[in-house]
């Protein structure tokens, strides 16, 4: 076990603890179910930064009133394949899963369904919602804007958020194809992690307060967009696309004006926007053609020669391997997460989670 890993927790035990914590903090059952599903999905796939590590933050947001734990979501279908979901300042996870269900319903009859979500909050890992569509046999796309952490190309200060893009597609008799990426060079959590262990950052991923490149995590003031200093116009452009679909379609505050996720104000709703698109594979040619083509594509991709000591992987392969390992061995908790979970249990007068 790594020196930074204090213990492991079984998937079922993690689900139970997160669910109990959220209910104790006053959420309704639907919100607790959705947040638990999303956080555990992310951690099973190895994305703990958007999984179990978020629970203490969400408790803070609930107690402060930033997040409405008992929202009344309102869906309006505008046209045959489009709709708007007002999340009532509830959890983005509940809004995300509800929006995907509405989009699937429209895609079943119209071949495609798109839902813009407003008045929402942080929704964890974008891949959770694209994956929910793929698990049902549909192609899914999930986007979300966020508070400013990423400079524009050749800009000096943060403007866009990490603005994730997630895409998932069903694969016959196999786990889905899953791409889940930020439009920044690296996640901001990587900077915080490297600060904590005093480790030098890779070159060309962050800048200091003057907009100059640095590898010192203590001096990092802003992430560079995907593509770095030379080709960051690509990442900045993708982040802008996410902003348009997530914020302008819904009339929400764009990332530059949004309250920071980890700021001192835990009482004011942030007005996050999301965008979800679901497509029925059989609406374009037929499902058999899609499935055959998908299998051939992935077989060819994985069969390509790799560099010495490396392996060519399809998007999602690494996550499914991690999921299988963590399902069998438990999800690791580092010392900070273990302490945070024990503190939550003590403060909320709950039984702490059982460890393996």
> In the CATH scheme, what architecture does the domain 5-185+224-293+316-347 have?
2-Layer Sandwich (3.30)
Residue by residue, DSSP assigns 153-190 as: TT-SSEEE----EEEEEEETTEEEEEEEE-SBSS-HHH
pLDDT grade for 57, boundaries at 50, 70 and 90: very high
* 46-60, 108-122, 189-203, 246-260: the lowest-pLDDT one: 189-203
**Residue 264 burial by Cβ neighbours in a 10 Å radius (0-12, 13-18, 19+):** exposed
Q: What is the DSSP letter of 260?
A: P
Two structure tokens written together for 279: 């497509």
Predicted pLDDT of residue 239: 98
- The 10s digit of each residue's pLDDT in 209-232 is 999 999 999 999 999 999 999 999
Predicted pLDDT of residue 190: 83
Q: What is the mean pLDDT of residues 130-147?
A: 98
Q: What is the mean pLDDT of residues 68-89?
A: 98
Q: Which pTM was predicted?
A: 0.96
| Helix boundaries (H) for the chain | 11-24, 29-44, 55-64, 92-110, 127-135, 188-197, 228-243, 287-302, 317-329, 335-347
Predicted pLDDT of residue 350: 98
Q: What is the mean pLDDT of residues 61-65?
A: 98
* 3-7, 26-30, 167-171: the lowest-pLDDT one: 3-7
Q: Is the pLDDT of residue 87 over 70?
A: yes
Predicted pLDDT of residue 263: 87
Q: Is the pLDDT of residue 2 over 50?
A: no
Predicted pLDDT of residue 1: 43
Residue by residue, DSSP assigns 111-163 as: SEEEEEEEEE---S-THHHHHHHHHTT-EEEEEE---S-EEPTT-SSEEE---
- The 10s digit of each residue's pLDDT in 167-223 is 999 999 999 999 999 999 998 878 987 887 789 999 999 999 999 999 999 999 999
Q: What is the DSSP letter of 283?
A: G
Cross-strand pairs, 178:
168
Predicted pLDDT of residue 188: 87
How high does pLDDT run on average in the chain? 96
Instruction: Report the percentage of the chain scoring pLDDT > 90.
Output: 92
Domain ranges of the chain: 5-185+224-293+316-347
233 CB neighbour count, 10 Å cutoff: 14
Residue 155 zone, left/alpha/beta (φ > 0; ψ -120 to 50; rest): beta
Predicted pLDDT of residue 196: 75
């Amino acid at each position: 076990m790594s020196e930074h890993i204090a213990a492991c927790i079984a998937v079922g035990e993690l689900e139970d603890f997160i669910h109990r914590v959220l209910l104790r903090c006053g959420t309704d059952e639907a919100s607790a179910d959705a947040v638990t599903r999303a956080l555990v999905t992310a951690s099973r796939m190895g994305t703990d930064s958007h999984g179990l590590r978020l629970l203490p933050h969400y408790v803070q947001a609930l107690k402060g009133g930033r997040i409405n734990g008992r929202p009344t979501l309102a869906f309006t279908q505008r046209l045959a394949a489009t709709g708007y979901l007002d999340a009532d300042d509830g959890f983005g996870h509940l809004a995300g899963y509800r929006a995907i269900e509405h989009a699937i319903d429209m895609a079943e009859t119209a071949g495609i369904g798109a839902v813009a979500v407003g008045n929402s909050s942080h929704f964890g890992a974008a891949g959770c919602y694209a994956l929910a569509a793929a698990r049902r046999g549909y192609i899914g796309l999930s986007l979300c804007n966020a508070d400013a952490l990423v400079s524009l190309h050749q800009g000096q200060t943060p403007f866009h958020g990490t603005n994730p893009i997630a895409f998932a597609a069903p694969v016959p008799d196999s786990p889905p194809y899953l791409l889940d990426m930020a439009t920044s060079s690296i996640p901001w959590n990587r900077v915080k992690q490297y600060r904590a262990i005093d480790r030098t950052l890779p070159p060309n991923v962050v800048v200091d307060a003057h907009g100059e490149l640095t590898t010192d995590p203590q001096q990092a003031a802003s992430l560079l967009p995907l593509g770095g200093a030379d080709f960051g116009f690509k990442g900045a452009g993708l982040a802008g696309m996410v902003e348009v679909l997530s914020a302008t379609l819904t009339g929400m505050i764009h990332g530059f004006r949004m309250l920071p996720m980890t700021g001192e104000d835990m009482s004011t709703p942030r007005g996050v926007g999301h965008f979800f698109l679901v497509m029925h594979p059989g609406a374009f040619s037929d499902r058999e053609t899609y499935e055959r083509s998908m299998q051939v594509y992935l077989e060819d991709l994985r069969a390509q020669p790799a560099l010495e000591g490396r392996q060519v992987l399809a998007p999602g392969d690494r996550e499914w391997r991690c999921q299988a390992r963590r399902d069998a061995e438990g999800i690791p908790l580092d010392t900070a997460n273990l302490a945070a979970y024990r503190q939550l249990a003590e403060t909320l007068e709950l039984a702490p989670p059982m460890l393996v």
